[in-house]
């Protein structure tokens, strides 16, 4: 029981740190002055882009993906990509592709700050990921998101 309690507090602490990091990322993304992420756009960012890469399925008409920045550290890599609506230069969502060496990539869609709360809930739940060691994964997410935050703040 005590071990379960320690794990719960560890997960709460990690989630709290990640939440605080997102509080810093939101103002950086909010400069975009773009309409909120829609349900369809969230699905494109979280599933459609993966299908584009793995099954060569076309991206939905009216959208494109732009490579922003990639960070690697030890055996982990995070790529940040913008999901862009046709005719717009600011992203309607950010796609984060996380990969551990010799592991399958995991795809996350970060919605705009003013997107419906249900999309932010879906993003938060998606952070559970498919890896065994959540603590290392969350540490790397924090590192990559902090670097991305600084990258976007200079744009």
Is-contact 109 42, C-beta < 8 A? yes
What is the CA angle 83-88-90, rounded to 5?
60
Say what the pTM is: 0.71
Please report which confidence band the pLDDT of residue 19 belongs to, taking 50, 70 and 90 as the band edges.
Answer: low
- pLDDT, mean of residues 125-133: 68
Please report which confidence band the pLDDT of residue 141 belongs to, taking 50, 70 and 90 as the band edges.
Answer: confident
Is the pLDDT at 28 greater than 70? The verdict is no
Q: What is the pLDDT of residue 6?
A: 47
- pLDDT, mean of residues 14-41: 63
Q: What is the pLDDT of residues 63-75, one digit of tens each?
A: 999 999 898 988 8
d(CA 48, CA 97): 13
Residue with the larger pLDDT of the pair 32 and 101: 101
d(CA 57, CA 60): 9
Q: What is the pLDDT of residues 65-111, one digit of tens each?
A: 999 989 898 888 999 999 999 999 999 999 999 898 888 999 999 99
């Amino acid at each position: 029981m005590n071990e379960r309690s320690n794990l719960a507090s560890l997960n709460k602490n990690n989630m709290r740190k990640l939440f605080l990091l997102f509080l810093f990322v939101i103002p950086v993304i909010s400069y975009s002055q773009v309409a909120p992420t829609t349900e369809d756009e969230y699905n494109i960012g979280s599933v459609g882009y993966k299908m584009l890469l793995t099954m060569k399925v076309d991206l939905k008409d009216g959208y494109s993906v732009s490579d922003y920045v990639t960070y690697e550290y030890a055996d982990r890599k995070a790529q940040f990509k913008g999901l862009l609506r046709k005719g717009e230069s600011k992203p309607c969502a950010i796609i984060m592709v996380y990969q551990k060496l010799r592991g399958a990539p995991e795809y996350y869609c970060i919605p705009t700050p003013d997107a419906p709360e249900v999309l932010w809930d879906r993003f938060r739940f998606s952070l559970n990921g498919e890896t065994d060691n959540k603590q290392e994964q969350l540490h790397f997410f924090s590192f990559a998101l902090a670097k991305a935050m600084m990258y976007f703040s200079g744009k």
